[in-house]
Amino acid sequence: MVYTSGSIALATLEYLVHNFHLLSTAEICLAKIEIGKPKSMLVKKNSDLPSGWNRQMHLQYATQQIGKEFCLKGTDYILKVPSAVVPGEFNLLLNPQHKHHAYTKVVEVIDPFTFDQRILDLG
């Protein structure tokens, strides 16, 4: 599964929520991708997800199962899911085993990608 977001801002917030404990040692990059060829997409709405999916601090088995089943089925290339971090925004999960993955290209890499220090200054 390739985990992407609909914007750089959302990707940044998702990273911070899930990896804040790594920030002092993490060296990260940002890859902008372009999805070519008509894409097949499965869209999940909030109502399609288990109760409480967006309030849990730790990964839920039920949401992981949705991703696993999506990849195993292999029908669609993209699984569009709501962000738990920013209501109304979406993450796009890509199935790298799908035939359309060959048409997805990295178009820019920002390396290193650094956060504005004000984000990290909690004092």
pLDDT band at residue 122 under the 50/70/90 scheme: low
Torsion (CA) 53, 60, 24, 11 in degrees, nearest 10: -50
- What pLDDT sits at residue 26? 67
**79-100 core/surface letters (b: 16 or more CB in 10 A; e: else):** bebbbbbbeebbbbbbbeebeb
Record the pTM: 0.87
Q: How far apart are alpha carbons 23 and 90 in whole angstroms?
A: 24
- What pLDDT sits at residue 77? 96
Task: Tell me the residue type at 56.
Answer: Q
pLDDT band at residue 16 under the 50/70/90 scheme: confident
pLDDT in tens, 23-73: 666 688 999 999 987 779 999 999 999 888 887 665 578 888 999 999 999
